[in-house]
């Protein structure tokens, strides 16, 4: 029970039915000025980008009215749900990221007159005096007996309604991103101001099937946007930290009972938290990405290991304090995903208090000095000039509340780590490919992974191979960095992935398969007993396949270029593997 629960319930009752579930009413001002018609990629992209600009302008006007403290306090006390018609968990996550980016970009610093410290104001200031009512005596007593905390002051049902409009604007920006990605893949933009939707997309039956196939495929976070795989079994110690992720599936604490018992956290039956704690292999992440350390230091004037040291120490705090029975702290992480405001002195104290555990988790002996940590905190702090609502990589976990106090948004750390190398040269490190090859190993490679030598003296190197009965599957691996343009619907970025990952992987896999057929016996290998070869590709990411042509598919459902998890699933469940397209036969 917290001071805001019953007031929020009352405010929700007051605004019930005042906003439609869809977001079509937002579209009228912009799209009613656009001529009806069907638009291709270039004009369609231009129109959508114009709409995004208008949405961001409207959203910024709302966000600018209040402070970081107000927005974090309010938004993290609202259960995750969709602000539009699409209620897919990933949509909810993307919408919340856009809203958080907008807050980081446009909110005021310091106080704004709508939020204050509970011990520095009179109780009648909270919710404009609502807690003075006899029906809210429990909430009043909670605040009186609780430690000093931020509370909403000048706040009514109109403010709550305003928040939901902000969410709907963020949802519409997500819709724009989704439509930009579709028209980059071949859809057309259809504008009809007489329809309730105002703008939609036209897809051919083939394109509909391709996009549906891509959308339903598993997109595990096993590599950063650099294309570097880190979530794997090949490091000796899989030491992790716990990071909050948005509870977009609305799981309750009973669903994660085993995990909660392991960290001594009490279970409240059927309680649905806003966030869930997910183990993140921070040591593996560092081991995989330290190849970028020199470039990262040169570009950002801060050490990569210092960034990860800070994150590890701070996240270790709420795990350790849970074991020592400080339940309220980790409870706040479950409920809100952030902490603060905290002074710089307090943050530094926490980091140095947990320095030994951080070193152990990361597998290093390096302990940065105080100035290095302060410089790294500055790097981790929001720079609103660099924030872009369509590029989650610009998000930051530290928000400066005033000159010496910060909010720490733990829920942004995963996305921050995923894209923290976006401003570096990413595709020149060959070790990324080595890591991908190691991680696709379902079992030891059937053929050597060093160059194979034919009797005639020619050579080919197979990244990975596995034998199933008389069929040999050979794999060509591609660890190519993922541009943010792929997510914002940039045709050039999408074509780059086709050329450098899909097309190249299949071309090289086919060439190597044909070489093996022509050279079934070599000086360091033999295809004795093998009658067929299936050449495929594996990428560090789930790739969009742009054609239904059999050449690009193993069968009607499974593409020829797979992610790591898709490859493992394919090998484990491929009972009809011999019916696959693109099997090549070896003539005796």
> Do 158 and 250 belong to one domain?
no
> What residues make up the domain containing 480?
431-585
In tens, the pLDDT along 331-381 reads 788 889 999 899 999 999 999 999 999 999 999 998 999 999 999 999 999
The pLDDT, as a whole number, for residue 238 is: 52
Q: Check whether residue 65 and residue 163 sit in a common domain.
A: yes
Low-confidence ranges of the chain (pLDDT < 70): 231-239, 263-264, 321-329, 426-435, 437, 440-442, 574-576, 578, 588
Phi-psi category of residue 457: left, alpha or beta, with phi > 0 → left and psi -120 to 50 → alpha: left
My answer on whether 401 and 528 are in the same domain is: no
For residue 196 the two structure tokens come to 């309730």
Among 27, 15, 8, 169, smallest CA distance to 84 is for 169
| In-domain check, residue 425 | no
Helices (H), 79-156: 89-106, 137-145
Within this chain, do residues 90 and 186 fall inside the same structural domain, yes or no? yes
305-327 residues labelled b (16+ CB within 10 A) or e (exposed): bbbbbbbbbbbbbbbebbeeeee
Whether 115 is covered by a domain: the verdict is: yes
Query: Within this chain, do residues 449 and 394 fall inside the same structural domain, yes or no?
Result: no
In-domain check, residue 262: yes
Q: How far apart are CA 179 and CA 373, in angstroms?
A: 42
In a domain, 289, yes or no: yes
What is the rounded distance in angstroms from the CA atom of residue 278 to the CA atom of residue 246?
10
Domain boundary among 355, 387, 419: 419
pTM of the model: 0.91
Burial 178-188 (b: 16+ CB within 10 A, else e): bbbbbbbbbbb
Residue 327: predicted pLDDT: 57
Domain count, the chain: 3
Tell me the sheet residues that pair with 521.
526
Q: Let me know whether 187 and 303 are in one domain.
A: no
Report CA 443 to chain centroid distance, whole Å.
Answer: 29
DSSP letter at 420?
A: T
How distant, in Å, are the alpha carbons of 226, 280, 312, 406 from that of 381?
22, 21, 16, 9
**Residue 299: inside a domain:** yes
- pLDDT (0 to 100) of residue 326: 57
Same-domain check for residues 154 and 134: yes
- Structural domain contains residue 426: no
Q: Which helix (H) or strand (E) element contains residue 412? A: none
pLDDT at site 402: 84
Which one, of 498, 489, 496, 500, lies nearest residue 559 by Cα? 498
Residue 177 shares a structural domain with residue 32: yes
On whether residue 229 sits in a domain, the answer given is no
Residues 6+ apart with CB under 8 A from 499: none
Q: Give the number of residues written for the chain.
A: 588
Among 419, 452, 471, the domain-final residue is 419
Distance CA 451, CA 458 (A): 10
Residue 228 is assigned to a structural domain of this protein: no
pLDDT recorded at residue 234: 42
What per-residue confidence (pLDDT) applies to 322?
Answer: 60
Cα–Cα–Cα angle for 92, 96, 100, nearest 5°? 175
Residues 406 and 272 in one domain: yes
Same domain, 453 and 403: no
Closest CA to 313 of 364, 270, 257: 364
Q: Are residues 304 and 212 part of one domain?
A: no
pLDDT (0 to 100) of residue 431: 61
Do 61 and 103 lie in a common domain? yes
């Amino acid at each position: 029970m917290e001071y805001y629960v019953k007031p929020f319930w009352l405010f929700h009752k007051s605004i019930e039915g005042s906003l439609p579930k869809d977001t079509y009413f937002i579209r009228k001002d912009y799209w009613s000025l656009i001529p009806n018609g069907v638009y291709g990629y270039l004009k369609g992209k231009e129109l959508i980008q114009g709409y995004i600009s208008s949405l961001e302008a409207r959203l910024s006007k709302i966000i600018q009215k209040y402070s970081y403290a107000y927005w974090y306090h309010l938004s993290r006390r609202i259960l995750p749900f969709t602000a539009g018609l699409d209620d897919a968990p990933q949509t909810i996550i993307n919408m919340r990221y856009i809203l958080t980016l907008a807050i980081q970009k446009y909110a005021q610093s310091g106080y704004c007159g709508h939020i204050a410290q509970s011990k520095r104001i009179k109780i009648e200031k909270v919710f404009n005096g609502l807690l003075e009512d006899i029906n809210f005596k429990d909430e009043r007593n909670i605040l009186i007996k609780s430690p000093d905390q931020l509370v909403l002051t000048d706040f009514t049902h109109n403010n709550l309604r305003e928040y939901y409009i902000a969410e709907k604007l963020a949802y519409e920006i997500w819709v724009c991103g989704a439509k930009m990605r579709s028209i980059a893949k071949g859809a057309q933009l259809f504008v009809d101001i007489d329809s309730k939707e105002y703008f939609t997309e036209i897809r051919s039956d083939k394109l509909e099937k391709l996009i549906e196939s891509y959308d339903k495929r598993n997109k595990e976070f096993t590599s950063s946007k650099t294309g570097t795989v880190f979530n794997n079994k090949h490091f000796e110690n899989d030491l992790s930290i716990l990071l909050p992720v948005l509870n977009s599936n609305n799981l309750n604490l009973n669903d994660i009972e085993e995990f909660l018992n392991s960290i001594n956290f009490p279970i409240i039956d059927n309680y649905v938290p806003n966030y869930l704690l997910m183990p993140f292999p921070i040591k593996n992440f560092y081991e995989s990405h330290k190849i970028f350390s020199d470039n990262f230091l040169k570009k950002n004037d801060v050490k990569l290991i210092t960034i990860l040291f800070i994150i590890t120490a701070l996240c270790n705090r709420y795990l350790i304090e849970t074991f020592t029975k400080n339940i309220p702290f980790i409870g706040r992480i479950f409920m809100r995903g952030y902490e603060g405001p905290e002074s710089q002195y307090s943050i530094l104290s926490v980091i140095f208090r947990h320095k030994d555990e951080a070193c152990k988790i990361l597998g290093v002996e390096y302990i940065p000095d105080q100035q290095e940590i302060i410089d790294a905190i500055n790097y981790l702090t929001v720079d609103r000039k660099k924030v872009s609502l369509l590029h989650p990589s610009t998000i930051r976990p530290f928000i400066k509340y005033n000159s010496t106090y910060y909010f720490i948004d733990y829920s942004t750390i995963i996305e921050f780590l995923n894209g923290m190398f976006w401003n570096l040269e990413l595709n020149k490190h060959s070790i990324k490919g080595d890591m991908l090859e190691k991680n696709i190993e379902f079992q030891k490679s059937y053929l050597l992974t060093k160059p194979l030598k034919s009797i005639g003296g020619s050579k080919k190197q197979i990244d990975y191979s596995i034998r199933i009965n008389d069929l040999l599957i050979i794999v060509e691996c591609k660890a190519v960095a993922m541009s943010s343009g792929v997510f914002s619907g940039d045709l050039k970025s999408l074509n780059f992935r086709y050329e450098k990952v899909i097309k190249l992987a299949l071309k090289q896999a086919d060439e190597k398969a044909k070489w093996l057929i022509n050279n079934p016996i070599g000086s360091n290998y033999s295809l004795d007993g093998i009658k067929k070869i299936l050449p495929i590709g594996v990428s560090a990411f789930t790739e969009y396949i742009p054609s239904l042509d059999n050449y690009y598919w193993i069968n009607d459902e499974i593409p020829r270029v797979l992610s790591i998890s898709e490859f493992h699933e394919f090998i484990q469940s491929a009972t009809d593997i011999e019916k696959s397209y693109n099997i090549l036969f070896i003539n005796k």
